């Protein structure tokens, strides 16, 4: 089981930026970010596989960027132009999916989860 620890959440005004990090211990293949707003289901935000293939959700495309340091086994999410609707708990996740042309987007495809970090965007 991979251990994942997120950091970097906080409170920001609309239009501001935040950067999230996720430190992984153990072998990781595909990694991703999900978020869950109050009263809503957890949703896919962005993912990156073992060879750098990326997938970004349409809801954040153009504002969020996902990157990964394979040497340090760390996942990043740069969030720009944040809006109140981005308020949620953000979760880092790891998947055993090793397919080079695929980035999984469903919860069931991810095996390990971090504890989550709160991101709050004020109007």
pLDDT at 8 over 90: yes
The confidence score (pLDDT) of residue 27 equals: 87
**pLDDT band for position 107 (cuts 50, 70, 90):** very high
Q: What is the mean pLDDT of residues 7-21?
A: 97
Q: How far is CA 83 from CA 10, 18, 91, in A?
A: 13, 11, 18
**pLDDT band for position 121 (cuts 50, 70, 90):** very high
The confidence score (pLDDT) of residue 36 equals: 98
pLDDT at 1 over 90: no
**pLDDT band for position 97 (cuts 50, 70, 90):** confident
Q: To which residue do tokens 């809503």 refer?
A: 40
37-92: per-residue pLDDT in tens?
Answer: 999 999 999 999 999 999 999 999 999 999 999 999 999 999 999 999 999 999 99
Strand residues in the chain grouped as ranges (E): 3-7, 10-13, 18-25, 30-36, 43-48, 54-56, 64-69, 74-79, 88-95, 112-113, 117-122
């Amino acid at each position: 089981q991979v251990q994942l620890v997120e950091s970097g959440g906080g409170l920001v005004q609309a239009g501001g930026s935040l950067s999230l990090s996720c430190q992984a211990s153990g072998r990781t293949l595909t990694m991703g970010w999900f978020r869950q707003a109050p009263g809503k289901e957890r949703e896919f935000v962005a993912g990156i596989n073992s060879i750098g293939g990326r997938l970004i959700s349409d809801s954040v495309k153009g504002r969020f960027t996902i990157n990964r340091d394979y040497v340090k086994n760390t996942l990043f999410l740069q969030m720009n132009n944040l809006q109140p609707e981005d308020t949620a708990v953000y979760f880092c996740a790891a998947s055993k999916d090793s397919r080079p042309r695929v980035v999984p987007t469903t919860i069931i495809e991810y095996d390990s989860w971090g504890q989550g970090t709160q991101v709050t965007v004020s109007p």
